[in-house]
Chains A and B, each alone.
Chain A
Amino acid sequence: MNVLGCLDTPTSGHYQYEGIAVETLDADQRSLLRRYALGFIFQGFNLLARTSALENVELPLLYRGMSRKDRHEKAAAALTAVGLPTKLSSTPGELSGGQQQRVAIARAIVTEPSTLFADEPTGNLDSVTTRDIIEILTRLNVDRGITVLMVTHDENVAACAKRRVVIKDGLVESDSTSP
């Protein structure tokens, strides 16, 4: 998963992302690929502490060199899309796990990536919150056409996917597509 999200480099093998041989890119080029094409959601949220939800979501836009006004607008819109229009100035410490994960999703989608990698996004959440998060991810796929690639141990979560690849001990066990 980390290799797919370009967070890690493969020790061996070959990985092409939209025709780009990722293993041939240097660290800066992989950073730019993450910046412009990929979004990432972690099990542990990975938000900046002591930093408001709005500023966390603005962060990727800051590295794109976007103006202050545009950043505010886009970040506020992304937070509204994940259902947190009233929590713009809350810091991670003031938010629940589900809310933090929504901020993380907002941060991942604010750049309008073509692919969203989710590494056990619901692993730290209860079942009700899990349902909310899966709903948001499904809507992103349906409404915005973002490919969502998710790793999970949860059967119920896996059941929501259009294509399921089961991996056991490093080997592909089955690959099925639901209608």
Chain B
Amino acid sequence: MIWNAFAIAVREIGRNLTRAFLTVLGIFIGVASIITMVTLGEGATLAVKAQISSLGSNLLTLRPGAGFGQRGSSAGVPSFTERDAETLGEQIASIAAIAPVRTASLSTIYLGNARASTITGTTPIYFQINKWSLAEGRLFTEADVRSGSAVCVIGNTVRVELFGAENPIGASIRIGRASFEVIGLLATKGQAGMGDQDDTIIMPLSSLQRRLIGKTSSHDINQISISAVEGTDSLELIAEITQIMRQRRNLQSNQDNDFNIFDTRQIAETLGSTTQLMTMLLAAVAGVSLLVGGIGIMNIMLVSVTERTHEIGIRLAIGATASEVLLQFLVEAVTLSCIGGIVGILIALGLCYGLAQVIKVPFNFNTQINVIAFAFSAVVGVLFGYTPARRAARLNPIDALRHE
């Protein structure tokens, strides 16, 4: 009997392909939209989380100038001194590590390859503060800083552009007017919403000062990197730093700060709560589209059953039992819902895969949402295909036949 109902159902689907197509369309749009939205949303969330953790979560950066961007132009504002960094480290207990940083943009040459790179001169603790890890070779040491040795550590982008497939460790590159030995290669960090972090060359501060730019003034530190002790209230720490820096820079009480403090923990918290909000928003939108998809399925099913009450009457009149007619409708609904669900999942996966490449978020397959979307559509399809059919099949054959 089931096989028989299946044969009839398949024949009926084939007989009205437009109706079948519309039913499948309703289902697969619902399924595909939910899966796409949730998958991409999760990918974006993962991407944001990865960026935050690559920045380091308790990192403060001190820069000259009143604020970020153009408004906070540091033109005319004195830079920091190495002594500033030392003082802050000595006086504030909640500072775990502090590193003075001097950056310069210089041309780098290796054999035939040349490019402009940002050179960072600092102390070894900088690697720890900024969560850099080593891929190959070694980092420079305090001894290198004291002696001002001609050594540097490079990021992966620099390696690719200058060395290609060659091993950079031990090689000698020309930076500005001096020659440096590459002693280490940093592990990749990737994009972090603030440019390519891997496009960097890091060397001892004293080497940069003596060999490349020449020490002209003690105010030559354009950034101080600070990591806080775990569990520190960053607002309190910022207040302490501000107080000491204002004193050291001889600012009067009526003068604004001529330096700014960039707090990654605050950024991380903001981004974290934004991401959470975004995920909730996506879940809400997905819920609505699921509902709309469900209503679409319901409509097609209701309309088609009304249309088909006459057919149900004919089948009953020539001797089909109500349960045989119902089984046929059930099989039709299940078949169409499953086809719609499967097509929806396939299209969603294709879309997610493609869009993930375009908007550069990781593609993260979520089994749960696939199962939920499929099950929901199947249930709606079957429920609304079956329930009205059951009502029609319970009529006297002659009443069903008179239904126009």
Contacts and interface: CB of A to CB of B under 8 A. Distances in A.
Contact of A9 (B315, B319, B324, B396): B396
Nearest to B310: A46
Contacts of A34: 317-319, 397
Contact of A28 (B4, B7, B322): B322
A36 B319 contact: yes
Interface string B319-349: 1111110000000000000000000000000
B88 interface: no
Nearest to A65: B4
A46 B321 CA distance: 18
B319 A31 contact: yes
B318 A59 contact: yes
A8 B398 contact: yes
B396 A32 contact: no
Given A8-B398, A62-B8, A46 B313 contact: yes
Contacts of B401: 7, 42, 46
B15 A51 contact: yes
Interface residues of B, number: 27
Contact of B314 (A8, A48, A111): A48
Task: Determine which residue in A27, A36, A64, A107 has the highest number of CB atoms from chain B within 10 A of its CB, and name it.
Answer: A27
A152 B324 CA distance: 33
A15 to B, nearest CB: 14
Contacts of A55: 11
B322 A7 contact: no
A7 B318 contact: no
B367 interface: no
B16 interface: yes
Nearest to A27: B322
A contact residues, range: 20 to 34
A111 B4 CA distance: 18
B263 interface: no
B316 interface: yes
Contacts of B311: 48
Contacts of A46: 310, 313-314, 317, 401
A64 B319 CA distance: 9
B15 A40 contact: no
Contacts of A65: 1, 4
A8 B394 CA distance: 12
A44 to B, nearest CB: 8
Interface in A99-128: 107, 111
B316 A31 contact: yes
B313 A59 contact: no
Task: Determine which residue in A27, A31, A65, A107 has the highest number of CB atoms from chain B within 10 A of its CB, and name it.
Answer: A31
Contact of A32 (B15, B317, B321): B321
A27 B321 CA distance: 8
Interface string B367-404: 00000000000000000000000000010111101000
Contacts of B16: 50
Contacts of A141: none
Contact of B319 (A35, A42, A48, A50): A35
Task: Determine which residue in B311, B320, B394, B398 has the highest number of CB atoms from chain A within 10 A of its CB, and name it.
Answer: B398
B298 to A, nearest CB: 24
Interface string B1-16: 1001001100100011
Given A48-B314, A50-B15, A50-B16, A63 B396 contact: no
B397 A7 contact: yes
A60 B314 contact: no
A55 B15 CA distance: 12
A24 interface: no
Nearest to A37: B319
A63 B396 CA distance: 18
Contacts of B1: 65
A96 interface: no
Contacts of B394: 27
A2 interface: yes
Contacts of B11: 55
A14 B34 CA distance: 59
A34 B314 CA distance: 12
A27 to B, nearest CB: 6
B328 to A, nearest CB: 10
Interface of B: 1, 4, 7-8, 11, 15-16, 310-311, 313-324, 394, 396-399, 401
Given A9-B396, A59-B315, A63-B324, 16 more contacts: A7-B397, A7-B398, A8-B399, A28-B323, A31-B319, A31-B320, A32-B319, A34-B317, A34-B319, A35-B318, A35-B320, A46-B314, A59-B318, A62-B7, A63-B315, A65-B4
21 contacts: A7-B317, A7-B396, A8-B397, A9-B396, A28-B323, A31-B319, A31-B320, A32-B321, A34-B317, A34-B319, A35-B318, A35-B319, A40-B318, A46-B313, A59-B318, A62-B7, A63-B4, A63-B318, A63-B319, A65-B1, A111-B319
Interface of A: 2, 7-9, 27-28, 31-32, 34-36, 40, 42, 46-48, 50-51, 55, 59-60, 62-65, 107, 111
Q: Which 5 A-B pairs have the closest CB atoms?
A: A35-B319, A7-B398, A31-B321, A34-B319, A7-B397
